[in-house]
Structures are given as structure tokens and as C-alpha cells.
Amino acid sequence: MKNVKAAMRGAQETLGFDSPSHMKGLQVFIADIRNCQTKEQEQQRVDKELSKIRLKFANPKSLSGYDKKKYVWKLLYAYMLGYDIDFGHFQAVELCSASKFSEKTAGYLATSLLLADNNDMVRMIVNSVKTDMASGNEHMAALALNTVANIGGPEFADNLFSDISKMLLSQSNALSPYIKRKACICLLRLYRKENDGLKPDIWSKKLAALFLERDIGLLTSVSGFMLGILEMGKYPVQAWAEVVPPVCQCLASLVQGDCPEFYEYYHVPAPWLQTKLLRILQFFPVSMFDAELLHRMNVMLQSILAKPSSQRTPAPPPGPGKKRSKVDAERQNRSNAEHAILFEAMNLMIHLEDTADPETMKTAAGLLGIFLSSTDPNIRYLGLETMARLATNLSTHEYLDRYKNQILDKMHETDISIRRQALNLLYALCRPENWQQIVDELLEILGASDSLLQEELVLKIAILAEKNAPNFGWYVDVVFKMLESAPDAVADDVWYRVVQVVTGFEDGSAESEKHGLQRHAASKAYQNLTSQRAPHDTLLRLGAYLMGEFGHLLPPSVTPRAKFEALHRHFVRGSQQTKAIILLASVKLLNGNEALSGEVGSFLKEIQDSADVDLQQRTVELLQLARDQDKLDEVLSPMPAYAESVQRNNPLVQRLKFSSRNRAHTRAELEEAAKSEGGMYKPGGKKVEGDGRALELPDPGRVSAVRSSPQAASESESSDSEGAAPDPQAANGTASGPSPKDLWLQLCLAPVGRFYNSPHLVLEMKQEYNAATGRLTILFKNNSKGAIGNIRVQIPEVPFMKVQTFSEVPPSMKPGEQAQHLVQVQCLRPFLQPARYAVEYCTAPGEPAQQLPLLLPAVVTKFISPAEVQPPQFMPFFESLAGQPRELLSVGKAKQPPNQWLNYLQKGFNFFVLPGSGPTQTLAAGTLNTATPDPSQPGKMMSVPILVRLEYEGNQQLVRLTVRTQHGEVTSSVAKIMETYLLVPPNGS
């Protein structure tokens, strides 16, 4: 025993550890804190100790390395208790270069905890880290690498990425697996900050060689590093093809049980490594796998899926008031590990698609069916989610159909996430053979479902009914049933689609068939309008439209008077849009039967005195039309059939979010998917793929009359979503002077200015921005001699910006009256098209409503803050960002002379202009701020550095604009905005 103790003391002395009897002061401090009875006593004791340490650090010459270490440990303990430590940082940095391991440990740990956000202080330990990594002492090197991995950050990424890379590339044979493992973890952390120094042609071979190592810990670190590379998506996956065979070989060894016992987790061989290897293979397209690799993968998958199910059975939940036994806990942990591997194996099988073994597919379908009955809700959820992706392969439906009733039962679960996945699976499994059972069950569930799921249910029921019903009559019946069960969840685009289907398409269908459907739809509308005392507003709109358009097809037993009464009885309770549709439908009934002239004429005369200006206008127009039968016939002629392309491109389908078969996604794809919840987009919010097109600057401020027919409404919504607007000068009501587009362009640079100008309404704006937040004050002024009424402001939701309003615009304004509208915006991610600011108002009774589809001048450059960078720092970083998509280069004629660049860059675009910039070359730097949390730095928001170079060629008056960032979308949006102001467009306009 004495020899063992002597050996331990010798090892401690060699490594620099102090014996336990040392640092008595630290032990006393901890004991005193533990003995404190109240928070006040603890505060007093900590303040006393911090004051003492502060005095000691004030005289550094009298401090030994041991003293510094002891006091730094006390600071760390106080910091762990939640007290702010604003001194001792320099002493912690000094300890990092100490020769003793214990002192170095205290220094590095204090640096990791106290200085992680202080780039200036972290920069001071870079040389110490480099020295320790090259010292040849494994413990010192491991400590330095731990510090790098814990802090990460741009300082370490810039200065240490190449050094750590060399350790693996050139010194790999001299390093132990322990150091290689830590080096891989460091590189992963730094690669996410700086990913330019890793080239596939060099690293592909090295990573392939590392996957042939035997150390499980090293293999786990290499797998994490490889996953990080693939998830960043910097290079195409084909560049990393060399790693695929060794990854398969490594996975095959683990599946066969070739794993040291101490790396088994409850008898499961290295489950974290297995899941990472399976995930890596999913990043590579199936076309990259040759026949031998595919065979090996199928054998491995069959081995994983064919394991006895007893190993994967989770422990039963403990009874009320009982704790889970140790045996049950071990069983649960083993079940979790087995299921993690199993689900990842199924993901790989789904990724292989038709190249996967059919028997393996059948086995997987059987296992997923078992998981639907699991007592663990997480396993039920994953089973449904995996089965939904498996169902995208039509050949698997014969295996999955048998579980249809079980899946329907899951629609009654209390957990909405499970119900949502069950709905996704039912949607994937629905075919003409089984659609009626599935749709009928979903209709029963619809009424009792909560509002969070109802709209998605309505959307998918409508799509399934249209797609699978033997005739469109069934589809119409289904929509009316939904309007009875959950009318609030039936969005406008659902009943717009009913109108399209009933009107018909240019698909060659027989006229008798179309008329039969139209008669059936009008009959359903008449039945609902006459049988319900207070139908929902959406049902009223659909019913009124169908009655007006196809009411003439109803049987003779339904008299014209009865048709009109069915509409007229509900007119009072309808909304403004609904009243407009009922009004038009009544006139269409009159056009089809002159016997209604008395009733409809009296109805119109009553409404022409309505307080609603829009209804007044419509009534006057319709009364005028009714005097000319030919014009009335022309204007109210039946709707023509829709183009066949409208039938193929169902707008409801475009609102669905379809998950791909593959679960391997880049970080950018995962971040995009996390921005919205549920299985669909909001109306008008279908996903638009970025195509890298130039930023369009639409003319905001177009004034237009309100349209109310379903077709016009859908066209208007589509037009607005694309940001198109004709020349505002062509519209009525705008004043002479700068156009709304010119005013908007000025506000994109200036903090204060006029937003909109007309003889009646004037809008002025004041903008204040701080990092990712902007506060906009819009001042409404009534410049006319009369009152302005029906004022409404709408700011549609956008995914890239959070918009909040803190005051409302009054519905009417007297002559000379002013009102403020306060809006706060927060940038969430880079964007091209700005958010809309739609204003609507009426200048006088009987006049059409004026619509101003303005755009908020909160463009992406408003959220940039100056970054003070010096030329020696600027150029290396600028050169490191070369290449698409992080770089955008534009060349064109100068729109502004170089002597104006400083004003635009500093005041307009919020950049810091580097000293030494001149008329031939100007350098600028800034940071785009967002309000999106940075997952790699808790408590911080994501930001993107932006570097700009402007070059001027005086002879030809050409400007070369170069914008470089780490994010392609930022580069594109900033460059396009700068082009608008600094470069003449190619067409010279």
C-alpha cells in the first residue's frame, strides 16, 4: 500500500497536481459558504472574499503561481454560485502559460468560463494553446484542445484551425487516439465558424483513413466531425465519396458485435457511433453506391431489423407513487439505445428506396406496426413519422394498409404531435380504394378536434376528396359537411377551390356532366341556406356564389322567389364581403328571371342608402346595369371554364409541407424547417424556392378599387404575394411630385421622410434602429377639406421579420386631423422583398375604397451596424470569403460619383468605411444583426459580418462592387440594394 501511495504522489508531482492538503483557504471558503443560513450571509461572505482577492491581485509581484491558482479557483466557485466576476481575468490568462499542470488547469478553466465572450482576452492565450499543443506532453495538449473546443469562437477559428488540422494531417502517426479524438472535436467546433480551410481533396483521404481506426472513441469523434461537414453543406457530397466504403466497413463491424465491452451501453455496441454512421450514409445519393456496397448495406439493415424484439421492449411505466426499479431503468435505457439505432436504420432503408431489399421493407413495416401500440408516446410518434415517410414508396402500401384502423385510433390521442403524424400517414396512405373510409373517419374527428389541428384536417380532407372521389359530387358533399362540422377552420382558399371545381375545367368533360355537378352544388347550397337559421359566414359566401352562378339549373319545383328568399334572409348577418357576394348573386338571379324585378329592385334600393360605402357603390353600379339588359347579360355572363393547368396545380396542395424521404439535412435546411410549425403553410403562404433572382423594387403606393369576387380576391392575393405593382402615376388620387417608389427609395436610406403623398392622405415616417430591432412611427395626416373614412392598415405576416404594432390608426379622420401608428420590426433572417404595409381608406361616401399596397422601408441594410475593422484584418478575411455563393460581383456605370460613396456607405447602408479608402478603392465593413438565437452561443443572437469593396475606373466611369459574407442570402440581398443606388441598371433606366 505504501508503494501505491508513493507512486500516486510521484504521478501528481510529475503532472503538477498539488496534494489534497494544499489550498486550505479554498476548502475553508467553500465550507463557510455551505454553513451560511441565509442568502444575505452568503452574499456578505462572498463580498468579503472578493474584496480580499481584489487586494491581493492589486500587488501581483507578491503572488506566486500557487496563490494565483488558489484565488482563481475561489473566483470560479463564486462564479458557479451566480456572482458576477469582473476581475482576475489577467491572472487567469497568466496561469495558462504556467509550467505546472494544476496551475495551467485553473487558468484554462477560468478562461473557458469567464472569458468565452471576451475576444480580446481570448486572443492572449492563443500562443499558450499553440505551445501546449506542440509540447509533446499528452496531458498538456489535451488540456489546450479542451479549451479550444469549449470556447470555439472566431479568434480560435482564425488562428488555430490550421494548426489543429496539421496535427491530424501530418502528425497523425505520432498522436495517440486520445489526442486525435480531441482534435476532431476541436475541428468540428471551429469548422462551424470558419469552413474555408478544409478542402475535400486533402481531407477526404484522411477522414477515410481515420474511419479504419479501431478506437471507438476516436471513431465517434470522427463521425461527428464528418456529420458536421456534411450538415454545413459547404461542398457537394460527391467530394467526400472516399469515406463511404470505410464507413460501411466500420458499421458492419459494430453490427456484428465487434466492440470493446467498455464501449457497450447496456449491452448495445456503441449506439451513438452506430447512429452517426447510419446518418452519414443517408447524405450520399443512392447513385453513388455500387452493387457491392448496396449488398453490404442491405445485409446490415436486415441484421439490425431482425434482432429479437424482446431486446427493444421498453420497461412498463411505474405505478402511481412508485419509483422505477433499477432493473426497469436499465431495461428502458437499453430500449432507448436499440430504438435509436433501429429508427436510423429505417431512415437509411427509406433513403435507399427501390434498391432496398423487399424483405427488409416488409420487416420494417411489421416493426412499425408494433410500435403503434407501444406504451411509450415517443416511440408511437417516431413510428408514425417513419411510417409516413415509408408510405411515399407505393410498393410498401400493401404492408402498411393492415394498420389503417390502428392509425385512425391514433387520431384520438391526447398528444397533438401524435395526431398530426397520424394525419400525415393517413394522407400518404389514401388511395381511391380506401379514401371513403379514411375521409369519413376524418370528418367524424373534425368536429371534436381542437383548433390547432382543424385547419390542417380541413385542408387534407378537401385535397383527398377532390383527388380520390369517383365524381366531384362527392367532393362537394364533403366540403359542405366540413362547413357544418368546423366552419371556422374552412379557409377562403378551400371554398375558392370548390368554385373552380364546380365551374369546371377545360379537360374535355361532357357538358351534361358539368351541368349535373353544377346542379348538385346549387342544390346543396339551397338546402343549407334554407335549413339553417344562422349559417356560418363562409357557408353563406359559398352558398350565395353557387346560387347566383348556377341557381338557374335547380329543378322547376324551386321557384325564383324561393331562391331569392334563401339569400335575402341571411343578408343582415353577413360580413361586408359576404353581403357583396349576396348582392351580386341576387342580381344574377334577376338576370335569369325577370319575375324577380320587383323583389330584387326593392332590395337594391334599400341598400343604396347603406352606411357602407362599398355596398353603396356596388348597388348604384348594379342598378345602372339593370337598365341596360344587353350590358347586364354581358357583365353577368356565366363564368368560363378554368384552364386545365388550374386543375393540375391545386393551390391547396401547395400549402402542404411535404417531408422528404431522406432525414439527412443540412443545417440551413433544418433551420428553415424549424421556422414554421405544423403540416401546412398559412393561406397565401405557400413555399417559394429561392432562385437567386435580383431584388425587385416594386412601386409601392398603387391605388386600386376593392374587388370582391372569389376569383378577383385570389388574383389580388397572388399579385400581392409577388410584390408586383403598376405605375402609381397612372392611378387616381396621387399628388404630383415624387412617386411613392421614389419616396420609398429615399426612406430606405434616410431615417425621416414622407412615406406617401396625395391630395387627401399624407403619410410621414420616422425610423429608429438598434441592432436587429427597428421602431417606425407613421404619421397619418388628413390634408383634404373633407373627412376620410374606413381607414384600415394591414401588415401581413412574413417569415423573415417579426412585426408588432403598439397603436391603432383611427377608422376615420376629420379635416386636418393627425394620428400616429407605432410599429416595431425585428429582423429574423436575411431577406430580399420587404414587408408590406397595406393602407385602405375612402375619401367620400359612394367613392371606391382606395388601396395603397405600400412597402415598409425596413430593408435588410437597416439592420446593419458598423464594424470597426482595420485594413490588416480586413484583407485576409475578405480574401477568405471569395467564391459563390458568399461573393457577389457587380460591374456597371457609376450612378453616383465616388466622392458620394462615403455618404451612402456610412449614413445610408450603416457601414464602417476603413481608413485609407479613396476614390479609386473604398473598403467598408458591417454586421447584419438578427433576433434569431445562435444555437452555438447560448444567450447571443445570430449575426453575419459583411465586407464591401468599391472600385472605380475613371476613364470608362465603371464601378466594380464586391460584397462578401459567410451567408449567401445576405450577400445577395445587400449587393442588390447597393446596386440600386450606386450602379446604373444595364438598360439605363
Q: Which residues sit in the known binding site? A: 56, 66, 70-74
Look up cell 397565401; give the residue.
Answer: 684
Angle at 951 between CA 949 and CA 954, to 5 degrees: 165
- In DSSP terms, 803 is beta-bridged to 825
Joined together, the cell numbers standing for residue 578 give 359576404
Burial class of residue 378, CB neighbours in 10 A (0-12, 13-18, 19+): middle
CB atoms within 10 A of CB 254: 22
Phi, psi angle pair for 945, to nearest 5°: -70, 145
Q: Please give the single-letter amino acid code of residue 369.
A: G
Alpha carbon 693 to its chain centroid, in Å, reads 20
Those residues with Cβ within 8 angstroms of residue 445's Cβ, 6 or more apart along the chain or in another chain: 411, 412, 457
**Cα(428)–Cα(423) distance, rounded to whole angstroms?**
9
Q: Please give the single-letter amino acid code of residue 83.
A: Y
**Cα(936)–Cα(917) distance, rounded to whole angstroms?**
35
Q: What is the DSSP letter of 609?
A: T
Burial class of residue 568, CB neighbours in 10 A (0-12, 13-18, 19+): middle
> Residue 160's closest CA among 181, 120, 187?
187
Look up cell 383527398; give the residue.
Answer: 464
Calculate the alpha carbon distances from 49 to 29, 74, 110 in Å: 8, 8, 17
**Cα(808)–Cα(774) distance, rounded to whole angstroms?**
18
Joined together, the cell numbers standing for residue 622 give 348594379
Angle at 414 between CA 312 and CA 311, to 5 degrees: 5
CB atoms within 10 A of CB 73: 20
The H or E element that residue 936 is part of is none
- 168 within 8 A of 206, measured Cβ to Cβ: yes
Give the chain's length. Answer: 989
Look up cell 473566483; give the residue.
Answer: 75
**Cα(585)–Cα(716) distance, rounded to whole angstroms?**
21
Can you list the alpha helix ranges (DSSP code H) found in 593-657?
A: 597-607, 613-626, 629-635, 644-648
- 906 within 8 A of 966, measured Cβ to Cβ: no
**Cα(335)–Cα(561) distance, rounded to whole angstroms?**
71
Angle at 387 between CA 481 and CA 246, to 5 degrees: 155
Question: What is the SS3 assignment for 819?
Answer: strand
- In DSSP terms, 888 is beta-bridged to 963
Those residues with Cβ within 8 angstroms of residue 192's Cβ, 6 or more apart along the chain or in another chain: 152, 228, 232, 936
According to the 3-state scheme, what is the secondary structure of 95-164?
HHCCCCHHHHHHHHHHHHHHCCCCHHHHHCCHHHHHHHHCCCCHHHHHHHHHHHHHHCHHHHHHHHHHHH
- 496 within 8 A of 709, measured Cβ to Cβ: no
Joined together, the cell numbers standing for residue 819 give 394620428
The H or E element that residue 827 is part of is strand 818-827
**Cα(327)–Cα(181) distance, rounded to whole angstroms?**
33
**Cα(704)–Cα(710) distance, rounded to whole angstroms?**
17
> Residue 825's closest CA among 780, 856, 854, 794?
856
Can you list the alpha helix ranges (DSSP code H) found in 170-199?
A: 177-191
**Cα(50)–Cα(739) distance, rounded to whole angstroms?**
65
Q: Does the N-terminal peptide bond of residue 246 adopt cis geometry, omega within 30 degrees of 0?
A: no
